[in-house]
A and B are shown apart, each in its own frame.
Chain A
Amino acid sequence: MELTLWTYEGPPHVGAMRVASSMKDIHYVLHAPQGDTYADLLFTMIERRGQRPPVTYTTFQARDLGGDTAELVKRNITEAVERFKPKTLLVGESCTAELIQDQPGALAKGMGFDIPIVNLELPAYSKKENWGASETFYQIIRTLLKDKVNQIDKINPQRWKSLGRRPKVNILGPTLLGFRCRDDVIEIQRILSEQGIDTNVVAPLGSSPKDIERLTDADINVCLYQEIAEISCEWLKRNCGMEYTTTIPIGIKNTINFIHEVHEKLDLPLTNKGELEHKSKLPWYSKSVDSNYLTGKRVFIFGDGTHAIAAAKIAKDELGFEVVGLGTYSREMARQVRSAAKDLNIEALITNSYLEVEDAMKKAAPELVLGTQMERHSAKRLGIPCSVISTPMHVQDVPARYSPQMGWEGANVIFDDWVHPLMMGLEEHLIDMFKHDFEFVDGHQSHLGHTATKVKDHINSKGKEGNKNKEVIMWTESGRAELTKVPFFVRGKVKTNTEKYAISKGIPEISDETLYDAKAFYS
């Protein structure tokens, strides 16, 4: 049993819904009690979709359990097929239905429909949302392509030359409720088309079973979200030799690497190499004098594997931040995240508990948090600015404007989204210059108004914790007064450092002088 207050991922059948809802001409009959229908609002409210997900729930009740729930399943399948006329039917169960073992998938297969039926077995008590999405996508591809892949030769990624056409790729992995997937697809398609590469199929987002059947018309696959598409890409490679890309084009460096990888796989000469550096504003914005204040800003990163790893790279190499924390809730990607953390000389945090993440965040005392909706809350409580880079997300993370994370424009969006919560360079200088003016009261914030912890609360709360420890550190009036003069966004760090210094030197009371001693010691 695991105690959860908030959870990063939903159950695996919600992952299946993400895939089903992303596609056309598909319907999902989900054996589930009525409460499970809540999942619809993830799509209609968070993502503001104008359609209900293509899901029929059997909504069995306690009184049905004594009778024949299998009959109930069959009735719902029949009604759904008649009403929605899908080209492919997914059949599965949620956690409660799994316990009553009606095996709806097997039932559906015995009902004599002349459409492909995908039997989804998603173990609800051991797996989670992303796994469910990945498995569903894989099972759809397997079911629809099984016969075809046996009949075709291995696909040579360079065959486009002999076929006398432009190279063609599939873009695999984007789904509804994925972080900015909608816009990432547009951005990546645009980049590929600039290079003379056509998109054969984007899936699951926007695809139909017919599109899945023509996946093998492409020369290679672009695996855009490993969490969702890696297993499918692997299967296509194993069964029909289709190569797939592994670089995730988030950030300048990785977008360039991605373009190189695609060209190498297709054996297509890269003609505009020099231009690539200038496609995004991020490099110049990052180097402009106003960005000087970004130097060494301490940043804490937590999210799904794909976005967390990408964020760490951008933070360090493209914005000049210091990454003081990196972690993920995607256990499937723990290995990659650990290795990314190792490159940064830190230890990765792999956990499902947002409280553990909050603790780690507190300890790392970052100046910026890049996280999920959960970290937004934690950061708010700690008075640290935060930008959301990954699911789970809030309705405000599905903006009306075009705001990809991938490619050139994605890099622009990232620069703005991450840097704006911090105080801007000129603003920070001005505050520093005018901090003794009477308008500059304690707790002064930038116009963005993130809630800083008042120094009084900060001292009090830390004081309580301190009492539990062996070392009791006292702040004198002068020390306290000096601490209030430190800008709020570094105050926590200064306080911790000064206390650490005082303990190490055996100083029982911290005065203004101690604070400056500590400052000199650490600088």
Chain B
Amino acid sequence: MSKVELNKETGPREVFCGLTSIVWLHRRMPDAFFLVVGSRTCAHLIQSAAGVMIFAEPRFGTAILEEKDLAGLADAHEELDRVVNDLISRRPEIKTLFLVGSCPSEVIKLDLATVADKLNKRFLGQVRFVNYSGSGIETTFTQGEDGALKALVPLMESTDDEKLLLVGTLANNVEDRFKKIFNQIGINNVESFPPRQSTELPKIGKNTKVLLTQPYLSDTIRDLKHRGCKIIYAPFPLGVEGSTKWFLAGADAFKINELKVHEVIAPLANRARQALEKHTEILRGKKLFLLPESQLEISLARFLHNECGMELIEVGTPYLNKDLMDEELNLLPDNTKIVEGQHVEKQLDRVRASSPDLVVCGMGLANPLEAEGISTKWSIEMVFSPIHGIDQAADLAGLFSRPLKRNQILTSKTLATH
């Protein structure tokens, strides 16, 4: 590990909870439905996080707990049965139904695993039920995906076939690119988890080599390891550097010569570096402050510093899994200040004191910071946009250069303020 400066902070937080990951998971698996068992707040959260209803017919919903459900838990189970029946009859195309636990359902200890077991017996051959918790007392933002994937691992059949398994939700076009590049490198059996159809889960076993695409999947990785899969530790495929090292690590696990990888990747990397140039012109030397939200902060900081020349003031992360992040931390410049956890008020004090050129933060903080004259980039955009891989490096940089470019276009002169 490089000599980064690790700090821990506790206090009031300002982050999304794990329920929010439903918003991209339901797009990845269109045959799945996510039923949150929670409160009106949960329902309101998801629709607000989904941009106040950009989807007319969502594949997620909430079974809202009411007073009578809290009175007796047995009733809550019956009620949930009724809601699920209604839902399945309304949406016969659903193949997998995720029962998603929330803060209130965790606190009243609603046993969703038992409910899922019962429902699995009743709907055998028609719908599969899995459960996980996306509650805000246990998970932050992207950790919900970890819970959802971990819940699917026991359903994956066993195989001894040698394969490369890419783990973590990717945009479809990115997934296709990754597969194509691995094929060119000489790895032909490449699969993705989660798959595009919830029913087409990849088979796994002792010859499965796992390459993570997202850094927030600690629990999923642990369970895959228990199933005999071999985990390949690598930096994450963000930017040219991260992606190259990621491909190299994958190839190495299949004993493919490094030269072969470079041969395939070099032209792509050259093209990407050229495309990056117009963004690095804007980003170079600019001061960056990352508030904790998506768990992608460390990888983003590495990309924005190493490839775009940004200066890192502080890199926040909701929590730090040192095993998974070791390779990333090694690539950061010495003395980078990493802050795990959050005291949002104190962090904002530090933001103001350090006068950054750009702050990466959650949506609730963005406009207030803009109003103080500080440019921002929303963390949530990183989980919705195709940012992975060499071909996307310039697009990724573009997400950060755009707010700065906007500042250049709209000055106090053009806006006619003082």
Contact = CB atoms under 8 A, between A and B. Distances in A.
B17 A33 contact: yes
B41 A125 contact: no
A247 B309 CA distance: 62
Contacts of A381: 56-57
B144 to A, nearest CB: 10
A38 B16 contact: yes
Nearest to B366: A44
B140 A5 contact: no
B69 interface: yes
A383 B136 CA distance: 39
Interface in A1-59: 1-7, 9-11, 13-14, 33-42, 44-46, 48-52, 56-59
B136 A44 contact: no
Interface stretch (B59-67, B277-285, B388-396): B59-67
Contact of A128 (B40, B83, B87): B40
A119 interface: no
A3 B66 CA distance: 11
Interface residues of A, number: 62
B49 A38 contact: yes
Given A37-B13, A58-B12, A394 B52 contact: yes
B39 A95 contact: yes
Contacts of A52: 364-365, 368
A136 B44 CA distance: 19
B103 to A, nearest CB: 4
The B interface is mostly helix, strand or loop, or mixed, namely: helix
Contact of B14 (A13, A37, A377): A37
A60 interface: yes
Contacts of B135: 33, 35, 62
B364 A40 contact: yes
A125 B367 contact: no
Contacts of A124: 39-41
Nearest to A396: B52
B256 to A, nearest CB: 43
A6 B137 contact: no
Nearest to B49: A38
B70 A125 contact: yes
A96 B102 CA distance: 9
Interface string B323-342: 00000000000000000000
B41 A36 contact: yes
Given A10-B44, A50-B368, A392 B52 contact: yes
Interface string A51-94: 11000111111101100000000001001000100000000001
A38 B64 contact: no
Interface centre among A33, A51, A56 (most CB of B within 10 A): A33
B79 to A, nearest CB: 4
A393 interface: yes
B82 interface: yes
Contacts of B106: 62
A123 B58 CA distance: 28
Nearest to A42: B48
B367 to A, nearest CB: 4
Nearest to B39: A95
Nearest to B15: A34
A155 to B, nearest CB: 38
A81 to B, nearest CB: 13
Contact of A60 (B14, B63, B67, B137): B137
B195 interface: no
A142 B107 CA distance: 33
A301 interface: no
Interface centre among B15, B49, B53, B345 (most CB of A within 10 A): B53
Interface string B1-34: 0000000000011111111100000000000000
A33 B136 contact: yes
Given A56-B12, A99-B107, A44 B364 contact: yes
Contact of B19 (A35, A60, A377, A378): A35
Contacts of B104: 95-96, 99
Contact of A3 (B18, B56, B87): B87
Given A99-B70, A125-B67, A6 B368 contact: no
A1 B64 contact: yes
Given A1-B69, A64-B137, A125-B39, 19 more contacts: A2-B66, A3-B86, A3-B87, A33-B103, A35-B16, A35-B42, A35-B135, A36-B41, A36-B136, A37-B14, A44-B363, A44-B368, A49-B368, A51-B368, A52-B365, A62-B138, A79-B345, A95-B103, A380-B56
11 contacts: A3-B64, A3-B86, A7-B47, A13-B41, A14-B41, A37-B15, A40-B14, A45-B367, A58-B12, A99-B70, A125-B67
Interface of B: 12-20, 39-45, 47-49, 52-53, 56-58, 60-67, 69-70, 76, 79-80, 82-83, 86-87, 103-104, 106-108, 135-138, 140, 345, 362-368, 370-371
5 closest residue pairs by CB, A with B: A35-B136, A35-B17, A50-B371, A40-B364, A1-B79
Interface of A: 1-7, 9-11, 13-14, 33-42, 44-46, 48-52, 56-62, 64-65, 76, 79, 83, 94-96, 99-100, 123-126, 128, 373-374, 377-378, 380-381, 392-395
